[in-house]
Amino acid sequence: MTNAYDPTKLLLAALLALCAATAQAGWQLVSDQSQLSYTTTKVFPGAEKSAAENNRFAQLQGEVGDNGIAEVRILLDSVNTNVAIRDERMRKIVFQTEKYPAAIVNAQVPATVLGEQGLHQIDLTLQLKLHGVQKSLTVPVSVVNDGKRMLVTSMSPALVDAADFGLGGGLVELTKLAGLMHIPTTVPVSFNLVFQQ
């Protein structure tokens, strides 16, 4: 008869539990309390009038490890311009989400920001991977850390040039479909991200 107490199995179970706890350590993005938005401008033909419109992404994922390595994934299919046909065109023509489903942002968060409660204002260097292209940009951010939650807010918009990421051709096509004269490729991007331990 086999003894039900098997120290090898107990040790294995303990190691698996430790690995699971380690994998979950750090900070998780609270998607439904976080927001990333950008502003586009459309220029009409003839009268040289323009209009600015705010757009956002409804689905974000991300985490910050205990080592300060942060990653935020922007699910491009969740683009919301408040116009259904424009959302569809953005997905298919500009972002090409079947091939590039997400934009990925990576950063190294300073240890002082993670380890010390209070308000931190820093210049954070981000690596943005979009449409198969990666570029670096620096954004001034405000971080409020209360020990259990972190609120990360852009203090001024990050200026992202869509042409740098190979999206210019899609914007030209979108301009023609919408009957516009021009859509500038540089857009200001703002974010308000909530992380929880």
Lowest mean pLDDT among 22-31, 47-56, 155-164: 22-31
Average pLDDT, the chain: 90
CATH numbers and ranges of domains, the chain: 28-196 (2.40.128.110)
pLDDT of residue 21: 39
85-122, pLDDT tens digit by residue? 999 999 999 999 999 999 999 999 999 999 999 999 99
pLDDT for 15 beyond 90: no
Q: How confident is the model at residue 8 (pLDDT cuts 50, 70, 90)?
A: low
134-156, pLDDT tens digit by residue? 999 999 999 999 999 999 999 99
Phi-psi region at 153: left, alpha or beta (left = phi > 0; alpha = psi -120 to 50)? beta
pLDDT for 11 beyond 80: no
User: Which helix (DSSP H) or strand (DSSP E) does residue 139 occupy?
Assistant: strand 133-145
Q: Is 85 exposed, middle or buried (0-12, 13-18, 19+ CB in 10 A)?
A: exposed
Dihedral sign computed on CA atoms, order 178, 81, 155, 135: negative
User: Which helix (DSSP H) or strand (DSSP E) does residue 153 occupy?
Assistant: strand 149-154
**pTM metric for this prediction:** 0.84
Q: φ and ψ at 16, to 5 degrees?
A: -65, -40
pLDDT for 10 beyond 80: no
